Structure 1
Amino acid sequence: MEGTSFLKEPVGGKSVVGKIVDNITNAIINGELKPGDKIPTEGELSEAMGVGRNSVREAIKILEAYGVVHIKRAEGTFVSQEYDSKMLYPILYGIILQKDSTNQIVDLRKVIDVGILHLAVAKLAAQEMPAHRLSRIEEALERLKVEILSPEPQVKNVHDADVAFHMAIVDLTGNTMLQGICNYVDKITRRSRMMAMDQIISEGAVEKFLEMHQKLADLLKTCDSSQISQIVEEHYQYWANVKE
């Protein structure tokens, strides 16, 4: 048990369970516990921190639910070695619960998209990503055109095609963490984005909508990063104005 200074951190202030969670996650961040390490037993944590076993058990359940640790029956509890999208839940739930969360999420997605496009362009320019991967962008764009230009466009189908188009761009980065973030943001913003789609269709702004998507596809083909911020800002004008 020597060298585990996180066990000596005082448990107080916030809830006991919350403090235990903090102590263990801080130990991972500080490198006291490394990916793949077995953490002290329930009894050891309880004794060292001066807390009840039930509180330790609840804290471990929370960490397991968020993918931070995993339990191997008859072996113990270990720090996870791989990224799990569940690790993003606390951050994104916090954003959802804040006042004016829709505008904050739009801003978050704009920042993410600017970064994604710069990374994708850099990889394509450096030939780190096969150029033929761009065909997926074109295929996704064609599907989007079919859905929104149909005689009676269905909001759900247009939304799903739009999500697929943007995820095809994210896939160009080859970054699973970015894929996880975007996938989760897509889930929690489904309602407001579908409202934006309905607004675009009802206002007859379909051509403008497709033009904005074509600009994204074109800048990837030309590897021109100079207009990324402007195009992203323009792209989210309808979603940003949605009033829930």
Structure 2
Amino acid sequence: MAVGQGALGRTTPEPKSARQPLRQEVVDGIKAYILHNRLRPGDPLPTEPELCEALGASRSSVREAIRILTALDIVEVRHGRGTYVGRLSLSALVESLTFRGLLSPDDDFRVMYDLVEARELFERGMAERIVASLGEEQIASLAGHVDDMRRAGAGEGRGFVEADRAFHTLLLAPIGNDLIGQLSTAFWDVYVIVAPHLDVFTHEHEAATIANHQRIVDAVKGRDPVEFAAALAEHYAPVRQRIAEARARR
């Protein structure tokens, strides 16, 4: 859909007068508006009547397009306040992969394996940058997350899973690559949701998981990327093994 300078004061989609645009054209028109105006998450979008006029679309078409974009986290509707650019997160990817994992376990042992492998690739592939970038406060926080895991394993403090997630999120944060951070977290979230349904992780594995996380922290403290990569390999290898064993039991 073409774009031009509209009455909204910024670059807007050019109106269509010959026919009502299809739903996908309305979706594309709103995305074009966001891109051409270089809007960021949280920036406001035109009102519904303004979008209808600019796109030459009916109110029902615009509302349907907004619902589609909201589901993709491209648009956020704040009731009583208007429509805004969404967080542009990977929530739609998480939901899709999760549903696939729950719907088709036989096929998705492979998907689970691939997700774990991708997370390991992110962390091991950037071992030198991660070890060099983590500050002392961040290292202390990593150690604190391991302590949280210990307390959770003993039935105290916050949850084991939450501490594990926070650990790996912090591990990638200092490299400054938001896409890798979001992808890794998204893959982690899918794994955690689906794994219990596939009997991949049990409380019997907690002690080994804690020990592996502690080794990662020790490697970071020593500023040793080789040991850091080795610790990650030791951490992820049994995870892949548990997926293979769970698949064999099916």
Cα-Cα RMSD: 4.3
Letter in 1 for 2:136: A
Q: Is the 8 A contact 1:6 1:23 kept in 2?
A: yes
Q: TM-score, normalised by structure 1?
A: 0.64
Instruction: Tell me the secondary structure at the aligned position of residue 237 of structure 2.
Output: helix
Instruction: Report the Cα offset of residue 235 of structure 1.
Output: 4.9
Matched residue, 2:129: 122
Matched residue, 1:237: 240
Matched residue, 1:21: 27
Matched residue, 1:163: 165
User: Does 1:33 pair with 2:42?
Assistant: no
Superposed CA deviations along residues 60-115 of structure 1, whole A, max 9, x for unmatched, are 244345543456889964545xxx2x631222223234453453244234323432
Q: Is the 8 A contact 1:144 1:165 kept in 2?
A: no
Instruction: Tell me the secondary structure at the aligned position of residue 196 of structure 1.
Output: coil
Pair 50,178 (structure 1): closer, same or farther in 2 beyond 3 Å = same
Superposed CA deviations along residues 164-209 of structure 1, whole A, max 9, x for unmatched, are 43344245556666555555544443344443331x61xxx66644
Q: Is the 8 A contact 1:122 1:223 kept in 2?
A: no
Matched residue, 2:58: 52
Q: TM-score, normalised by structure 2?
A: 0.63
Superposed CA deviations along residues 16-39 of structure 1, whole A, max 9, x for unmatched, are 4344223322453xx323116765
The 5 A counterparts of 1:57-72 are: 57-64=63-70, 66-70=72-76
Superposed CA deviations along residues 128-171 of structure 1, whole A, max 9, x for unmatched, are 442242122223223434544x5xx79x9544443343344245
Whole-Å separation in 2 of the counterparts to 1:187 and 1:77: 28
Which consecutive unaligned segments of at least 5 residues does structure 2 have? 6-10
User: Does 1:92 pair with 2:94?
Assistant: yes
Q: Is the 8 A contact 2:73 2:89 kept in 1?
A: yes
Corresponding residue pairs, total: 225
Instruction: Report the Cα offset of residue 224 of structure 1.
Output: 0.8
